[in-house]
Amino acid sequence: MTDFYHEGSRRFQDRFETRALADRLREAIVDTQISPEDREFIEAQNMFFLATVDEAGRPNCSYKGGATGFVRVLDETTIAFPLYDGSGMYLSAGNVSIIPHVSLLFVDFQRQARLRFNGDAYIEVDDVLRGEWPEAELVVRVTLREMFPNCPRYIHKMTLVEESAFVPKAERKAPAPAWKHLAAVADVLPPRDAHLTGDETDLAAVLNRTE
């Protein structure tokens, strides 16, 4: 793992005299395989942050949420998660289809712990796993490059109040979000949502308030 740090990281390590510490941490905590403990941590989460990049190297960060365990560890180097119905922009999926490099940040706010998972992602439109998640549109598989925990000192301790009512469930269809009922988008909704029309027109206002 000699290329874990690049010139930019080394420059700041040398400025703040942390090169030796950084090398020791790389040796101690950076791994290329998913341990049973890592699997337990990943599959206990109900959200994570996903970073992708476009063809020009510009980053995009997305929140991904679901039922607890919606991210699955398939083997020692591979995880998979579903992409549900969203805004229709497909920024993350689009980026992955062009540039596979991704970074996932898992945060457990109750335990105040976090895990970085870096690797290469790929999407098959007809992935055989898609049926494992109710209402999943796509499945993203990520092959691990490296993973490591981070210092938890700045993680705020928070508790889950309730799971989102929009998380897909096998026993019922997830409700449509309020913004899909707006007149502002009525003429551009995909056919499956064409019946979801309403009177409000202020799209930004609806997106910025609680559903």
pLDDT digits (tens, 9 = 90+) for 7-64: 999 999 999 999 999 999 999 999 999 999 999 999 999 999 999 999 999 999 999 9
Band (205; pLDDT cuts 50, 70, 90): low
Report residue 104: phi and psi, to 5°: -115, 135
CA distances from 190 to 41, 186, 187, 196, 203 (A): 37, 9, 9, 10, 17
What pLDDT was estimated at residue 179? 83
Task: Determine the Cα angle at 1 with ends 103 and 4, to 5°.
Answer: 50
pLDDT digits (tens, 9 = 90+) for 70-90: 999 999 999 999 999 999 999
Instruction: Write the CB contacts of 168 (distance below 8 Å, at least 6 apart in sequence).
Output: 66, 67, 84, 133, 134, 135, 136, 174
- Domain extent listing, the chain: 1-30, 31-149, 178-207
Angstrom distance (rounded) from CA 193 to CA 166: 15
Angstrom distance (rounded) from CA 104 to CA 64: 10
User: What's the whole-model pTM score?
Assistant: 0.91
Assigned CATH for 31-149: 2.30.110.10
Strand extents, DSSP E, 21-133: 47-53, 59-65, 72-75, 78-83, 101-108, 113-123
